[in-house]
Amino acid sequence: MPLPLLALAIASFGIGTTEFVIMGLLPEVALDLGVDIPRAGMLVSGYAMGVVIGAPILAVVISRMERRRALLGLVTMFILGNLLCALAPDYAALMVARVVTAFCHGAFFGLGAVVAAGLVAPERRAQAIALMFTGLTLANVLGVPLGTLLGQHAGWRATFWAVVGIGCIAAAALYLWLPRTLGAGSSRGLLNEVRALRRPQVLLAMLISVLSSASLFSVFTYIAPLLLEVTGVSPRGVTLVLLLFGAGLTIGNLAGGKLADWRLMPAVIGIFVAVIAVLALLPAASPLPLAAVAVIFAWGVAAFALISPLQMRVVNEAVGAPNLASTVNQGAFNLGNAIGAWIGGVAITHGLGYAEIPWVGVALAVAGLAFSVWSHRLECRDASAAAPCGEPETERC
C-alpha cells in the first residue's frame, strides 16, 4: 500500500473504532454516568446524526482549503473530540463530545476518498478508495473488539484515550506521507457546487447509498438477538461470528474496488443481486449454526463491496464539486444506517420475528437494485445520444 493511502487508512481505522466501539461499552458508560442503557444508546444515534448534519457544513468550510491542510485539520478535530470524550464529566458532555467527533467523520471520508482517487492512475481509483476504507473495516475486526476489551478491564475512558493515541499516529502519518502538492479544493462558488449536487445521476447515486446502507443496518442492528435466539449460539459465539463478519467486510471492500475499476455500474448492479440472494438465504439458514455463519460471512462480503463503487460513482458524476458531493455521500450512508435500524425496529415491534428480519434487508436492497438499473440505463442512453453516428456505445454500457 502506498504510504499516503496507508496514512488515510490509519485515520479511517481510528474514526471507525470511535464510531462503533461505544456499542460495546454501553453498560460501562451507563453505570459510570448514572443513566440507563437506552439513554446511553442515544450516544450511537447522536454520533450518526452528527455525521449527517456535520458532513455538509464542514464540506462547505473546507471547500477552498488546501486538501492536505484540510485533512490535517479534520484529524485534529477528531483527536480533540475523543479527548473530550475521555474527559467528559457527565452524560451531556459526552454527547457533545461525540457530536464534535462525528462532525469530522463525513468530511474526512469524503475528502479522503477524493484525495485517494487522485493519488493513483485513473484505472485504479476505486481500488484506492477501497484501500482507504480498509481502515474502517479493520476497525470492526480489530479496533472494536480490542477497544471493548480495554474498556471492560480499564474503564471506558481508557478506550477513548487509546483512540486519541491512534489519532495522533494518524496525524503524524498524514503530515509525513501526504504529498504537499495535493492542491486546493474547488474554486467555484458555493451555489455552483450545490448545483452540481442537483444533477440526477448524483442524486441517484446518493439515494442508492442510502438504500444500500439501510439494507445492511436493518439486519445488522439485530444480528446479535438473531444469533442468540434463533441460531442458538452463545454470547461468546456471537463475538466470533461478528469477527468473521468483519473479515467479510474487509474482503468485500477490496473486491468492490477492483470490480468498480472494471465496470462501475454493472458491478453495483451485480453486487446488489448478490446481497439480495444472500439475505434471502439467511431466514432458512439461521436455525443451522454452520449454515448461518457461512451466509453471514458471505453477506458481509457482498454488503461492503458496494461502498467504494458508490463513493466512486458520486465523485465521477459530481463534476466540479467532488469534495462536497463525496462528503455529503458519507452523510447519506449514515442516514441509511439510522433509517435501516429504525425500519428493522418497526418491523420487529409489529410482530416480525428475528428470523424473518432479513426480508426487510432484501426489500431495501431490491429498491437499491431498481434505482441502480435505472441510473445505468440513463447513463447508457446519454452516452449513446452523445456518441458520433455509427460509433458503439461507451464501454461502461
Q: What tens digit of pLDDT does each residue of 5-29 get?
A: 999 999 999 998 998 888 778 788 8
Q: Which CATH architecture has domain 1-185?
A: Up-down Bundle (1.20)
Average pLDDT over residues 311-323: 79
Distance CA 64, CA 60 (A): 8
Distance CA 183, CA 88 (A): 37
Range with the largest mean pLDDT of 36-40, 229-233, 372-376 = 372-376
Query: If you write DSSP's letter for every residue of 237-251 in order, what string do you get?
Result: HHHHHHHHHHHHHHH
Taking 3-state DSSP, the helix, strand and coil percentages for the chain, each rounded to the nearest 5, stand at 85, 0, 15
CATH number for 187-397: choose from 1.20.1250.20, 3.50.50.60, 1.20.1740.10, 3.40.50.720. Answer: 1.20.1250.20
pTM of the model: 0.80
Average pLDDT over residues 198-207: 88
Distance CA 327, CA 105 (A): 9
Local confidence band at 370 (pLDDT 50, 70, 90 cut-offs): very high
Q: Average per-residue pLDDT in the chain?
A: 86
Query: If you write DSSP's letter for every residue of 53-65 in order, what string do you get?
Result: HHHHHHHHHTTTS
pLDDT greater than 90 at residue 186? no
pLDDT greater than 70 at residue 185? no
In this structure, the number of other CB atoms found within 10 A of the CB of residue 99 comes to 18
Residues 6+ apart with CB under 8 A from 7: 170, 173, 174, 176, 177, 178
Percent of the chain with pLDDT over 90: 39
The domains of the chain are located at 1-185, 187-397
Distance CA 384, CA 395 (A): 11
Distance CA 38, CA 304 (A): 28
* Domain 187-397 in the same topology as domain 1-185: yes
Distance CA 388, CA 386 (A): 7
pLDDT tens by residue, 90-141: 999 999 999 989 988 888 988 888 898 888 888 888 888 888 888 888 887 8
